[in-house]
Amino acid sequence: FDAKKISRTIVDSSETKFKNYKTTAASLTELKERWARLYDEILKSAYPKLLESYSHNLEAYVTDSIQQILEHKMPSGDMLAKAMLRSVDEYSNFLSSEEYADFYDDLAGGTSGIGIKIRKTPKGLLIEKVLDDSPAQKSKKIIPGDQVLAVDGKRVAKLPLNETKDLLKGKPGAGVSLLLERTEKTHNLQFTIRLKRQRFNFDEGKVEVSERTTPEGTILVATVPSFYGRGSDPGAEDDHSVSEDLERELKKRLKKKTPKAIVMDLRDNPGGYLEEAVDMAGLFIGNKTVAGVMERNSRRVFKNEYQAPLFEGPLVVLLDSGSASAAEVFAGAMKDHQRAVLIGSPTTYGKGTVQRLYHVENELPLMDLSGQLLTGVIKLTTSVFYSPLGHSPANGGVRTHVTLLPESLDGEHPKHKSLAAIDFDVNPFLSEPEVERLKNTEKERQPLLETLRAQSRSRIGTEKELSERQALDEAISLAGSWSTLLQRSSVAARAE
């Protein structure tokens, strides 16, 4: 894998300041001084207030890093770079060429794992689906309905879903141990299984659009697993992007008939390319502001190239605590522009920072203490993103309008409690007239949202945990109801 060939970054940023570093040092003292200067510049480039937030995690991380070096699991230079960058925040890191290949595959719609589709439960992780031709299926020992209690000895019940997914991923061929629990007729059976991960590049990772018939009419359901995008060669036949895939699928359906509403299913969506979230939002809001980014001394506004929306009808966005990053960009834009009703877990994951990729080989030559040149990529937090009205997802995530899952069952987000140091709210990235108009629309729609909440409570109650399928069914029902409520409201407004 040649990291030099891939130059696209998650977010375009200012030109790197790390252009003047030499690739050799006259002495060990000079090399250490250069590491110190580099560390200082990284701190200045990152969002300064984040630094104090993660200091309590540094000791455990460095201890683990030293242990891995002693066990020869990773080159000491790689671990030194990792420890230094992880001291900035939890999302900054040093990726070896192999790790970057896996990271890039994730963004492109592939992954390396054991092939199970999971859902968070209070007890652990429920396996909802075993993928065809996967290590899990080939083992013939895992079935839908099994609970994952631990991964490589680490209990997962209290971990955020995205962190648990990271435990399941890894280098192809690497082993992973699962502690599973299966409910039998008379008792619960616990057992351990060890599998080898393998690479996946399949349609399971792409957008899927389906139709559901309801009393109100046809509802389209778009399942978006991640905000995947193109790599270094946009013209490659096997490359695809989530916004283009969704646009193509919607156009096919819209040519036949106009649906009553669309449900965007972003549950367990870990994010991806910010550009893809911006482009996808354009399918529903046209050329409007999707997000704002605060860098060290500047504010940037992200819009899309669409002059007119592809679909202007009722829209529902289904979310959970695994909806993160770019998924929160999309959801925040839909919420702020009063374009969609957000339903699902009380709040999303809560990742509000943006990372820039620096290719070590051609942007920032580094050596370890033995003088060996490092190869890989620096992933560095450089900015914070906000919704059009200036709200950061880091402040507890994006809150939904209608909650399908009680707070008591949704779990906590302990990793984000330490983010109080950043500015959660900034001035809107919209004009004052736009802000005023959106506030008025929000106020007008409150009675409609209360009606929608009441309808949902009457069907599912207040303490019931829904399965993945039940939550989708409820989202579809609410989409039909929302369509009817908007239509009645419009008729009443015209009558006045």
Is residue 160 a part of any domain in this protein? yes
pTM: 0.71
pLDDT digits (tens, 9 = 90+) for 322-343: 899 999 999 999 999 999 999 9
Q: What is the mean pLDDT of residues 392-406?
A: 88
- Domain region containing 93: 3-107
Residue 78, pLDDT above cutoff 80: no
Structure tokens given for 140: 């013939």
Do 257 and 293 fall into the same domain?
yes
263: number of Cβ within 10 Å = 26
Domain end: 47, 79, 107, which one? 107
pLDDT digits (tens, 9 = 90+) for 4-57: 333 333 333 333 444 444 445 666 677 767 666 766 665 555 444 444 444 444
Do 30 and 78 fall into the same domain?
yes
Give the angle subtended at the CA of 55 by the CAs of 49 and 57, to the nearest 5°: 130
Do 425 and 484 fall into the same domain?
yes
Is residue 343 a part of any domain in this protein? yes
Is residue 127 a part of any domain in this protein? yes
Residue with tokens 């957008």: 207
Is residue 89 a part of any domain in this protein? yes
Is residue 330 a part of any domain in this protein? yes
Q: Which one is predicted more confidently, 45 or 228?
A: 228
Beta strands 217-223; 208-214: pairing state: antiparallel
Do 94 and 154 fall into the same domain?
no
Is residue 373 a part of any domain in this protein? no
Do 12 and 47 fall into the same domain?
yes
Do 91 and 185 fall into the same domain?
no
| N- to C-terminal Cα separation, the chain | 65
Do 190 and 250 fall into the same domain?
no
Domain end: 200, 233, 258, which one? 200
Is residue 371 a part of any domain in this protein? no
Do 124 and 102 fall into the same domain?
no
Residue 422, pLDDT above cutoff 70: no
The rounded distance, in Å, linking the Cα atoms of 75 and 83 is 12
Do 193 and 273 fall into the same domain?
no
Is residue 358 a part of any domain in this protein? no
Domain end: 90, 107, 124, which one? 107
Do 117 and 161 fall into the same domain?
yes
Q: Supply the CATH number for residue 211's domain.
A: 3.90.226.10
Residue 420, pLDDT above cutoff 60: no
Q: Return the percentage of the chain with pLDDT > 90, whole number.
A: 42
Residue 439, pLDDT above cutoff 50: yes
Do 388 and 285 fall into the same domain?
yes
DSSP symbols for 306-366: -SS-S--S-EEEEE-TT--THHHHHHHHHHHTT--EEEESSB-----EEEEEEEHHHH---
The rounded distance, in Å, linking the Cα atoms of 75 and 481 is 57
The rounded distance, in Å, linking the Cα atoms of 111 and 117 is 13
pLDDT band at 357 (very low <50, low <70, confident <90, very high): confident
DSSP symbols for 433-478: HHHHHHHHHHHHHHHHHHHHHHHHHHHH-SSPPPPHHHHHHHHHHH
Do 218 and 158 fall into the same domain?
no
pLDDT band at 296 (very low <50, low <70, confident <90, very high): confident
Number of independent structural domains in the chain: 3
